Amino acid sequence: MNRYAEMLVLVRAVKDGSFSGAARNLGCTPSAVSKAIARIEDRLGVLLFSRTHRAITLTREGEAFYAAALEAIAAVESADAAITGGLIPEDTLRVRAMPIFAQAALAPHVPEFCRRHPRLKLEVHLRIDPGHVLDDGMDVAIQVGQLKDSSLVARRFTSTRWIICAAPAYLAAHGTLEAPEDLARHACLNFIPSIAASTWLVREAEPIKVPSRVVANQASMLMELARTGLGIVRLTELQVADDLAAGRLVELFPEQQCVEEDPIFAVYESRRHLSPRVRTFLDFLDETFSEPPWRHWRKTARNAPKP
């Protein structure tokens, strides 16, 4: 293994927080990772990691070498780009995304991204579980709403608002709603209580705890149930825009809907040591979503006729 490959192993181990995590992402064994790190340490005559049975942490010497390794890797990638005309070399981009965004917004544009970068493999993980968003070797995480981890770089590339709506079949069976207060006498479809979006917001009013007939932890499930006419739902505009435009769903009391938009961020580790694959993906997000495509429905009829 050459020194460049050893640096890649070390950087991966730091990002994943363990030799076993690095091994999974590099397609080798934990023993191979450990031996690569040991070779660097033997060559330099210093310990780069403090090892315990649960975790690894960089020593002071390790922190200095890690920073230098990032610089060296970036230099090699820049040299490659100078010869290949900026083409991304064979590589894997790992993206963690909330299912609601990945399925409704990102997926339609993935073919164009792949067409532009045929040598780049895209690995998308759909997850809503808490924890460090860049665990398991993720390069970029897409988050809807405000962020909690200030140690990461967050690049806002678009936004979306939440819309309370229902299918015409539900309104025909149960009557229309004139104001948010009417929600108390209707069946609502909601997120499980541990998800922040389970509390509904409307303009100039206190947050609403709605009576929930069915709860789920995935927006796609709530969407399908709303389409059947089972109840009223509150989902992001990026997910319901097409249904609103086509009249499959109807926005309720539009003058009292909350107009504030939740930011959507691309989260990554370092602004200084940005790999070509990450930089390319961030630029693609900016280009694709600078004018959010889900706002198209606002330019057409606001709603289908109410029953």
Q: Which residues pair with 179 in a beta bridge?
A: none
CA distance linking residue 167 with residue 108, whole number of Å: 24
**Residue % of the chain over a pLDDT of 90:** 53
Q: Are residues 75 and 184 in the same domain?
A: no
Q: Are residues 160 and 196 in the same domain?
A: yes
* Spatial CA neighbour of 230 closest among 206, 212, 205: 212
Q: Are residues 60 and 93 in the same domain?
A: no
Over the chain, what is the mean pLDDT? Answer: 87
**Final residue of a structural domain among 26, 51, 84:** 84
132 — alpha (psi -120 to 50), left (phi > 0) or beta? Answer: beta
**What average pLDDT does range 23-44 have in this prediction?**
89
Q: Are residues 104 and 80 in the same domain?
A: no
Any idea how long the chain is? 307
Q: What's the CATH code of the domain at 302?
A: 3.40.190.290
Indicate the number of domains in the chain: 2
Task: Name the one residue in this structure whose structure tokens are 């948010």.
Answer: 180
Q: Which residues pair with 234 in a beta bridge?
A: 164
Single-letter amino acid, residue 30: P
Q: Are residues 305 and 207 in the same domain?
A: yes
Q: Work out the burial of residue 178: count CB atoms within 10 Å of its CB; fewer than 13 is exposed, 13-18 middle, 19 or more buried.
A: exposed
Q: Are residues 74 and 145 in the same domain?
A: no
- Residue 165 contacts residue 304 (beta carbons within 8 Å): no
Q: Are residues 153 and 101 in the same domain?
A: yes
pLDDT per position as a tens digit, 147-202: 776 678 889 999 999 999 999 999 999 999 999 999 999 999 999 998 888 999 99
Other beta carbons less than 10 A from residue 95's beta carbon: 21
* Spatial CA neighbour of 40 closest among 71, 70, 76, 10: 10
- Tokens encoding 281: 């993906």
Q: Are residues 123 and 13 in the same domain?
A: no
- Residue 113 contacts residue 281 (beta carbons within 8 Å): yes
CA distance linking residue 142 with residue 39, whole number of Å: 36
Q: Are residues 77 and 166 in the same domain?
A: no
**What average pLDDT does range 232-254 have in this prediction?**
94
Q: How far is CA 282 from the centre of its chain?
A: 12
CA distance linking residue 115 with residue 124, whole number of Å: 17
**Final residue of a structural domain among 31, 53, 84:** 84
Task: Name the one residue in this structure whose structure tokens are 């399925």.
Answer: 103
pLDDT per position as a tens digit, 250-262: 999 999 999 889 9
* pLDDT at residue 34 greater than cutoff 60: yes
Q: What's the CATH code of the domain at 28?
A: 1.10.10.10
- Residue 158 contacts residue 288 (beta carbons within 8 Å): no
pLDDT score recorded for residue 119: 86
**What average pLDDT does range 202-207 have in this prediction?**
85
* Spatial CA neighbour of 255 closest among 178, 159, 189: 178
Single-letter amino acid, residue 37: I
Q: Are residues 44 and 102 in the same domain?
A: no
Task: Name the one residue in this structure whose structure tokens are 């309104």.
Answer: 171
Cα(first)–Cα(last) distance of the chain, in Å? 70
Does residue 151 or residue 31 have the better pLDDT? Answer: 31
Q: Are residues 188 and 127 in the same domain?
A: yes
Q: Are residues 122 and 253 in the same domain?
A: yes
Containing structural domain, residue 50: 3-84
- Tokens encoding 43: 């060559």
pLDDT per position as a tens digit, 287-297: 999 888 898 88
Single-letter amino acid, residue 58: L
pLDDT per position as a tens digit, 45-101: 999 998 876 678 899 999 999 999 988 888 887 777 665 555 555 788 999 998 989
- Residue 189 contacts residue 226 (beta carbons within 8 Å): yes
**Final residue of a structural domain among 54, 84, 114:** 84
